[in-house]
Amino acid sequence: MSENKPKKEKQKASAEPEIMEKIVSLCKQRGFVFQSSEIYGGLKSCYDYGPLGAELKRNVKAEWWRTMVHSREDVVGLDASIIMHPNVWRASGHLAGFTDPMVDCKDCKERGRADKWPVAAAGTEAEYKVIIDHQSGKKETRKAAVGALGIVCPNCGSPNLSDIRRFNMMFRTSLGSVDNIDTIAKAVEGKNLSGEELKKVVAAAIEETAVYLRPETAQAMFTNFINVQTSMRMKPPFGIAQQGKSFRNEITVEHFTFRSCEFEQMEMEYFVPPPQYADEGKDDMYWYNYWCTERLKWYSDLGIRKEKLRLRPHESTELAHYAKACSDVEYDYPWGWGELEGIAHRSDFDLKAHEKASGKRLTFFDSQKNAHYHPYVIEPAAGADRTALAFLLDAYNEEPPPPGTTEGRTVLKLHPRLAPIKVAVFPLVKKEGMPETARKIMSEFFQNQINASYDEKDAIGRRYRRQDECGTPYCITVDGQTAQDGSVTLRERDSMAQERIQVADAVAVIKKRLA
């Protein structure tokens, strides 16, 4: 739950709007990400991935699965349900503690997370602007002392704030064919209740059928620990990996898909022997450091510039009471360093908590050591949406016109395996059999499950730039020479270098470059 920690880093202000505006606009223009329900005015913090965005996110998740599951003997996958027994969230601590500090501005009615609002020294005077005429929008400047909270409203600057309330971020719904309104109506019918009594009665009525949309995928790996371990005959150290939707009713949603209420996670729980049963040199801290290194490397292997990545160990004050250590893989976003992924050493907290609450034994029996133990857990937890956004931001380049030309280009230098379209095929002109040959090459790519795109509209330079803008790493052009010697040009996105290859080799050449 490292996402709830206050961020102390000073944030960049100036560069963000420009680059983010460009990314948001490119995402819409080129079919990566759209605002959800746009024709109805949109829904705050909800996004739809368009054709290219869906490909990008699928590729991000496929790369993660390939690295974390398919390349290793010690990690297996899981695909659990989003709705789990409510006792899961009682035992995990989410029902009591998965909260953010919520505060309201009494002047402009802004609501937000207290730990994210601008800090001001208590007792000092804050100057703020209040709208005094809503029709004209006329404002009046006022002054007031900063209160004990030591923060001011980010919207109007006012220090007149409500008390901080803890707001639980889990989305609650009900399971079964019951209508909460009926239940509540029956519970309060004929009773003359005070506000507090009414609240209690309603809460109890709702609670009977309440279930929650999972705020993280992790818990199903703990509740299925025995199922997976015994069915797959796994022995610590081993991991259970899962990708899927999680939901958090965030008080503050921000930076496009960086923080939203519905998002996808890619999490792995790696169960290791506690220190007394560990193999020599491979104790829990060895595995924690191992996963920190591996996870940082994953991002740079897929093309994120090393200088834009860092591993930030949490300070002891940031750690949950059960955590032995935690580090964030951070990316240098346009607004400053922020979390991409958290790697937490969760000790044996989760298995013990679920064992206590469920009454089911959640230990591993090590026959060689003749011991039952609760494994410790190392948890690399990443977000697919946030990762896709970081890949987009890092890949975005505006290049000036090459010498002797007038047109620059916008290019997404995505790793070829992440690129939504792998190869574009063009006929140089719409005649002399070139479209037919290009279509034939296209169908070869599709038969080999390589996502390809055909384009015959506009001048060839324009077509290259369209593909550059959505990150297509390779373009193949059928021209006059193709009919003579069976060759086509292959153009590489980043260097723009062109070479001739044989049509018959096209699939093999692209496959090799994507490997």
Interface positions with ligand GAP (CB under 6 A):
1-3, 216, 218, 248, 250, 259-260, 263, 265, 267, 339-342, 379, 381-383, 385-386
Distance CA 357, CA 340 (A): 32
Of 107 and 379, the one with the shorter C-beta distance to ligand GAP is 379
What burial class does residue 110 get, using C-beta atoms within 10 Å of its C-beta: 0-12 exposed, 13-18 middle, 19+ buried? middle
Across the beta sheet with 474-478, the strand order is 452-454, 423-427, 474-478, 487-492, 498-502
Of 1 and 425, the one with the shorter C-beta distance to ligand GAP is 1
Smallest separation (angstroms) from ligand GAP to the CB of 386 = 4
Smallest separation (angstroms) from ligand GAP to the CB of 37 = 18
Smallest separation (angstroms) from ligand GAP to the CB of 157 = 27
Of 263 and 288, the one with the shorter C-beta distance to ligand GAP is 263
Smallest separation (angstroms) from ligand GAP to the CB of 259 = 4
At 358 the three-state DSSP class reads: helix
Distance CA 237, CA 482 (A): 56
* Residue in 26, 64, 60 with CA at minimum distance from that of residue 414: 60
Smallest separation (angstroms) from ligand GAP to the CB of 257 = 7
Smallest separation (angstroms) from ligand GAP to the CB of 260 = 5
Distance CA 141, CA 275 (A): 62
Distance CA 455, CA 436 (A): 12
Smallest separation (angstroms) from ligand GAP to the CB of 223 = 14
- What residue type is 220 in one-letter code? A
β-pairing verdict for 325-333 and 111-113 = unpaired
Task: Give every CB contact of residue 323 below 8 A, 6+ residues apart in sequence.
Answer: 344, 345, 346, 347, 349
Of 168 and 487, the one with the shorter C-beta distance to ligand GAP is 168
Distance CA 391, CA 309 (A): 12
At 15 the three-state DSSP class reads: helix
Of 95 and 470, the one with the shorter C-beta distance to ligand GAP is 95
Smallest separation (angstroms) from ligand GAP to the CB of 346 = 9
Of 216 and 479, the one with the shorter C-beta distance to ligand GAP is 216
Of 170 and 434, the one with the shorter C-beta distance to ligand GAP is 170
Smallest separation (angstroms) from ligand GAP to the CB of 24 = 16
Task: Give every CB contact of residue 17 below 8 A, 6+ residues apart in sequence.
Answer: none
Smallest separation (angstroms) from ligand GAP to the CB of 109 = 23
Query: Which residues are paired to 268 by β-bridges?
Result: 241
Of 341 and 479, the one with the shorter C-beta distance to ligand GAP is 341
The secondary structure element, H or E, covering residue 173 is strand 172-174
Of 267 and 348, the one with the shorter C-beta distance to ligand GAP is 267
- What residue type is 511 in one-letter code? K
Smallest separation (angstroms) from ligand GAP to the CB of 246 = 7
Helix extents (H) in 302-459: 349-358, 384-395, 434-447
Describe the crossing of helices 15-29 and 384-395 by its angle, rounded to 10 degrees.
100
Of 84 and 507, the one with the shorter C-beta distance to ligand GAP is 84
Of 104 and 267, the one with the shorter C-beta distance to ligand GAP is 267
What burial class does residue 458 get, using C-beta atoms within 10 Å of its C-beta: 0-12 exposed, 13-18 middle, 19+ buried? exposed
Q: Report how far apart the first and last C-alpha atoms of the chain are (Å, whole number).
A: 35
Considering Cα of 241, then 243, then 248, then 254, what sign does the dihedral take? Answer: positive
Of 272 and 478, the one with the shorter C-beta distance to ligand GAP is 272
Of 328 and 355, the one with the shorter C-beta distance to ligand GAP is 328
Smallest separation (angstroms) from ligand GAP to the CB of 489 = 40
Q: Which residues of 202-227 are buried (b: 16+ CB within 10 A; e: fewer)?
A: beebbeebbbbbbbbbbbbbbbbbee
Residue number of the CB closest to ligand GAP reads: 383
* Residue in 249, 215, 250, 261 with CA at minimum distance from that of residue 47: 261
Report yes or no: 390 and 304 within 8 Å, Cβ to Cβ. Answer: yes
Angle at 286 between CA 217 and CA 2, to 5 degrees: 35
Smallest separation (angstroms) from ligand GAP to the CB of 471 = 21
